[in-house]
Amino acid sequence: MGGADGELGSLIYEKILADMRDGVATIDLQGRIITFNAAAGRILGLDPQATVGQSFGEVFLMEESFDDFNEVVLKAVYENEATHSREVSVTVGGHRVDLHVTSTFLMLERDGAPERQGVIVVFSDITEQRKRRKLKRLFGEYVDPRIVERILDRGGVEDLKGARQVMTVSFADLRDFTGWSERLDPESLVSVLNRFLTAMTIPIGAAGGITDKFIGDAVMACWGPPFTEAGEQAIDACNAALGQIESLPALRRELAESGVARAEAIDVAIGIGTGEVIVGDIGAEQSRNFTVIGNAVNVAARLQEAAKRYGQRVLVAHDTRAAAGDGFVFRMVDHATLRGRSSIEPIHALVGRVGSVSDDERRLIEQHERGVMALVQGLPDTAAERFRACLEMAPGDRPAAVLLERCLAYEDESGAGGGSGVASVPGAAAAPK
């Protein structure tokens, strides 16, 4: 009976080892591998049947890629601590595999007392877990889990070491932060700012974007490979900007209910740029973070600041408008040279989605854009007529007022209304903070 029980127990043990997802190996005191289950073979790229009975040194110690793995195993042989545990990396078939390895004494009863007979090693493949941990470190708590899965499916964070690619970048900034900081005590200001930034962050994730960083009272976000499809990035960024605007009424109500004075004045200024940037895991060795740097970032920051001058909530670069397609209504508010750039280029306001813009707004847009083109062509008199017509349709229209003022300045400078609409355009957009 005892023999049958022992045989059954051995079969159960073998079945458990065979079905385990973790690798399990046992090594006797002479360094001979006495068990090596199927999972161990799969994880380390070895044939279990061929490995059992071989010397541990011949199988592992001659392979440099197993050095860290070997160290954990040998600690259990030469050190008195019962258990050693560590995360290590090995190379299997030319690919890196991350492991969590635990080694411990293999103890058996002999003459009524436990005696060390060897080492048992248990290890699991944590490659995907490590990728996810790195993603969390790089991107913080603001990445939609669906985006994390997409990055992993496309090759993981190893692709983020540094590359040039076209991306869309946005800055969303709290309007009149200086005024809020003067009116509120420090604790209330921090509370308002945190609620504002949270409200601005949610639409970014909903539109597939990455919250890159917070810069004072502004949030920077980006869209593009490997997070979103290249052809969708400008569309996603525009949808996020509109979502940020749509979140303002609820935010104002929430702040008002909390006793924040003038909560109805909470507002946002957003700038969006599209272009080539450098994408990568950037920073000091111990504090790297994913970010993007380059001209599109600068353009977005300058447009966000210029939005306040033109009285618009969202300004986008010409490249962004072109890439966003026909699902949105834009208004070309000006031609300007942004600080740090040499060329004069159109600046567009994002008015809304197609179907949400009234006929009156469309007529205003058409009249204003005719005025902008007349101004660029050096016809300030004609442009001024267009902008006056805009102000008759919408007396408080800020873009028309700004450009009409410029037309009058050109007339004063030329004395005959023949000034160039290009000459003083570089001052149209304010410098970023």
pLDDT of residue 84: 83
Residues 6+ apart with CB under 8 A from 337: 343, 344, 345, 425, 426, 428, 429
Q: 84-98, 133-147, 191-205: lowest mean pLDDT where?
A: 133-147
Mean pLDDT of 283-297: 74
Tell me what the pLDDT averaged over the chain comes to: 84
What is the band of 400 on the pLDDT scale with cuts at 50, 70, 90?
Answer: very high
Task: Copy the structure tokens of residue 299.
Answer: 């353009």
pLDDT greater than 90 at residue 255 = yes
**8 A C-beta contact, residue 230 and residue 224:** yes
Shared fold status for 14-125 and 158-297: no
Pick the CATH number of 14-125 from 3.30.450.20, 3.40.50.920, 1.10.8.60, 3.40.50.10490: 3.30.450.20
pLDDT greater than 50 at residue 262 = yes
Domain boundaries, the chain: 14-125, 158-297, 326-433
Residues 6+ apart with CB under 8 A from 121: 23, 24, 25, 26, 27, 72, 73, 76, 101, 102, 103
Mean pLDDT of 40-56: 93
List alpha helices for 30-82, DSSP H. Answer: 38-44, 48-51, 56, 67-78
**pLDDT, tens digit (0-9, with 9 covering 90-100), for 292-315:** 888 899 999 999 999 989 999 999
- Strands, E, within 126-267: which ranges? 163-174, 210-215, 218-223
pLDDT greater than 60 at residue 143 = no
DSSP single-letter state for residue 431: P
Highest mean pLDDT pick, 25-39, 86-100, 389-403: 389-403
In three-state form (DSSP H/G/I as H, E/B as E, the rest C), the secondary structure along 226-291 is: CCCCHHHHHHHHHHHHHHHHHCHHHHHHHHHHCCCCCHHHCCEEEEEEEEEEEEEEECCCCCCEEE
Q: 15-19, 96-100, 271-275, 417-421: lowest mean pLDDT where?
A: 417-421
Give the percent of the chain with pLDDT over 90.
53
What is the band of 423 on the pLDDT scale with cuts at 50, 70, 90?
Answer: very low
Mean pLDDT of 367-380: 94
Return d(Cα 433, Cα 95) in angstroms, integer: 46
End-to-end CA distance of the chain: 85
What is the band of 369 on the pLDDT scale with cuts at 50, 70, 90?
Answer: very high
Return d(Cα 163, Cα 294) in angstroms, integer: 12
List alpha helices for 258-394, DSSP H. Answer: 295-310, 318-324, 359-376, 380-393
pLDDT of residue 413: 61
pLDDT greater than 70 at residue 109 = no
Residue type at position 278: I
**8 A C-beta contact, residue 268 and residue 240:** no
CATH number of 158-297: 3.30.70.1230
**pLDDT, tens digit (0-9, with 9 covering 90-100), for 200-218:** 999 998 998 988 888 889 9
Nearest CA-CA partner of 272 in 224, 227, 226: 224
Residues paired with 268 in a beta bridge: 174
**8 A C-beta contact, residue 247 and residue 202:** yes
